[in-house]
Structures are given as C-alpha cells and as structure tokens.
Amino acid sequence: MEVINSLGNNYVKKICSLKKKKYRDSEGCFFATGEKFVKDLIVANLPGCSDAHHIVDAVIVEDGYLEKYLSQTRLAGQLKKLIAAGLVKCFSSQVMGKLSDDKSAQHIAAVLKKSFFVQAAANKFDLSENILGLCEIQDPRNLGAIMRTAAATGTGLLLSNDSCDVFSDKVIRTSAGLFDRVGFVQATSREDFLNRLKDRRVFAAALNEGMIYTNLNGMKNTCILMGNEGRGLYEDDFNIATDKVFIPMENDVDSLNVGVAASLFMFELNRKELINEGRA
C-alpha cells in the first residue's frame, strides 16, 4: 500500500480542512481520532452495513501499524473488507502527527460520513424517554462530557442551532469514544427546537428556584433546558418551560460547570430505571 508522506497531498489537505465546521458541512464528513473509538466504530457499525462507503470515507493507519491491526481478531475481518473496498490509506508518522491537535492520538483514525451518524443518532433520539435541551452550548469539551454521561444514562440530547458542532474532533474525543451511542438532534432553527419539545414536560435549569433536582427521579417524557456556559438561559427559554429545577449548593457557590450540572440532572432522571435494572 502506498504511504502518503506529504502534507501537500490533497487528501491530507481535506482532513486538515475538516477542523472547521464549514468544511465538515460542505464535505459531509468529519475526522475522528483515538484507537478505541475508531476500532469500536468499525466493529459495531460495519457488519450490518451493506456498503462501507455509506459510513467510511477512509480509515487512516500510520505506516508500520497495519499488520498490528490486522492481527487483532476483533478488528481484522472488517479492516480487510475496508482494504478491499479501497477505504484504507497509509500515512507516514510525520503526516499522522500533524492531523490532530491531540498529541496522545494513536496510530489509527477515520474520516467518516456525517449523514450515517446523523440518521443513527436521530433514530436513537426518537426513542429517548428523557432529554436535555442544550441552548447555545459553546465549549466542545463541555458538550463531549455531556455526551459521555448521556450515553451512560440513555438520555437524548436536543441541541439548539447555535450550539457548537457535535462533529468537532474535540467533542468526539471528550466523549471518550461514546459519541455514536447517544441519541441526539441539532435543531435547524429556533422553531425546530421548540417543535421537538412538544408533548414533553419541560424544566428550565435555574438558580435556587423551582423544584429540587432529586425530585426528578422516575419522571418520564421530560426535558431539562440548560443554557450557555457564561450566562445560562435567556428569558425566552424560561418562558417555554412549564417548571424550573435547581441544584442546591453551599458555601455561596451559585453555579456549577454545565457538564457537571447536566450529569446530575441526567443521572437523577434515570436513577429509578437504573436501580430497577440493577445498574445502580
């Protein structure tokens, strides 16, 4: 297999462009790093797919590591199919090191088709009993942390159109490779966001006002609205909620990191079900 060792290669340039949302949108692809995530993704999704081109644009393997991955029983069969389909590329270590901001990124990565993951996430979202409504979340690391907890609790995520992009490499990395196990939808407009809240009981996350969050335990068909990291929810957001909910705090602390607060809400919403299933 040819080894690509030039940063001027057209496909290398394409991958570098995917760091920006406008190119992820125009190319219909996103770039994912991390050995566990890429391997789990291949093993979990490819066997049930009739054409790998629907999921994968390319799997990137660092020169000298292909045999290692082909020797792994769990991965080898699917990787051979990808090679046969012309979907595996080999990059030099120098080029591989330039592709990710994560200096701990390992020796395999993937360029993936957004459309497949958007549809899969929407299908999971439609089955979610409880959801978080995220309004103007800007930090991709916060979103990634929220996605990790959403995967652990089975909570769906509804993102406003002005929240950060789910397909950012930072979101995917911070989600610890659990990105594809979450039901999520990113609304296309404010109207779309509101329409997706219909028939749900909506709580707005507030400060020392409303219902204490422990009373969320066992609720169904519920949405918790959470706002921007710097200023919380707009007044308009409170107006669409039927109730408010808060997390009591001591020592004059008046707020928590949005990822921490979201985790408390999600686990409390799902605690009864987790206990009944023997998982908590």
Region of residue 86 (phi > 0: left; psi between -120 and 50: alpha; otherwise: beta): left
pTM: 0.89
Mean pLDDT value of segment 11-23: 96
Other Cβ atoms within 10 Å of 260 Cβ, number: 15
Instruction: Write the pLDDT tens digit of every residue in 237-270.
Output: 898 999 999 999 988 887 889 999 999 999 999 8
In the chain the domains, ranked by start, together with CATH numbers, are 3-113 (3.30.1330.30), 125-277 (3.40.1280.10)
Q: Measure the CA angle with vertex 124, ends 217 and 279; round to 5°.
A: 40
Task: Please state whether 114 falls in left (phi above 0), alpha (psi between -120 and 50) or beta.
Answer: alpha
State pLDDT tens for residues 42-67: 888 787 777 889 999 999 999 999 99
Positive or negative, the Cα torsion across 34, 36, 42, 44? Answer: negative
Could you tell me if residue 85 is left (phi over 0), alpha (psi between -120 and 50 degrees) or otherwise beta? alpha
Which band of pLDDT confidence, cut at 50, 70 and 90, is reported for residue 178?
A: confident
